[in-house]
Amino acid sequence: MGNNTILYSKRTKVAEIIAADNDLLSILQRLGIRLGFGEITVDEMCRRYGLSTELFLIICNIYSKHDYTPYTGSLQQSDITHVTNYLLASHRYYKEVCFPQLHEKIHRLVEELDAVNRKLIDKFYDDYDSEINNHFMFEESIVFPYIEKLSAHSKENTTGFRISKFEENHSNVGEKLNDLKNIIIKYLPEEYSSPLRFEILKDIYDIEKDLQKHSLIENRLLVSLVQKIEKSYE
């Protein structure tokens, strides 16, 4: 059973949220929220940027509190658009910031390795890169357009897709990333224990944790909201 204790409220100052958990800086970044917001509250910031205050707080609480289970009963149908916009912003953040930085560091690392280990690292990273991009592509080309149709009160669904299919087949995109992490920790020879190796591991752990939270938002928030609309069409 998840813990529903609210960590932040609409009256909490944005600066206080960041001071409490600096991991939330990435959420502000992907939502296009600029620093220099002074002493404004979460509610004031959300109104300034056209965001749903309640949804923003749910996302922050999911990121900050282990096993937090959001209550979605008071969210509106219009909040689904905010959820998908946030998830799309997260995709861009991963593809344009996180993964290019990780890829560049891994490229520098493999240049130091012997041919066998270079091939091993390259294969695991390439497999993961392909998997994560296929995951994002499926969501962006199938899942999100389906949700957009539902949100527009369109009952037409020529593909026969239902959000339960997404829920059932939601792949664990962190599994191959975990394999890559274990190779770097356990199996590369000791002579390759450079500062770069530790830096890459720190990046992998950060991405892994963020992707877990990303999946929670999809599984506990998005799926719940979409199922409500689907039921209204039955």
**What's the pLDDT tens digit per position in 130-180?**
889 989 999 999 999 999 888 877 656 546 788 887 877 666 666 778 888
pLDDT > 70 fraction of the chain, expressed in percent and rounded:
91
Contact 66, 50 (CB under 8 A): no
pLDDT at 3 over 70: no
Contact 19, 81 (CB under 8 A): no
Summary mean pLDDT of the chain: 85
Which long-range contacts does 15-18 make (Cβ < 8 Å, 24+ apart)? Answer: 15/39, 17/42, 17/60
Mean pLDDT of 84-104: 92
Decide if pLDDT at 36 tops 90.
yes
Note the helical H segments in 8-143.
Answer: 14-20, 25-30, 42-49, 53-64, 79-93, 99-110, 115-138
Question: Is the per-residue pLDDT at 202 higher than 90?
Answer: yes
| Helices and strands, number each (H, E), in the chain | 12, 0
pLDDT at 155: 57
* Chain centre distance of CA 54: 18
Domain spans of the chain, in order of start: 14-64, 79-232
- Give the model's confidence band at 100: pLDDT under 50 very low, under 70 low, under 90 confident, else very high: very high
Examine the pLDDT at 1 and tell me if it is beyond 50. no
Which residues, including other chains, have CB under 8 Å from residue 172's CB and lie 6 or more apart?
Answer: none
Rounded to an integer, the average pLDDT of 29-49 is: 93
* Cβ atoms within 10 Å, residue 145: 14
Predicted TM-score (pTM) of this structure:
0.85
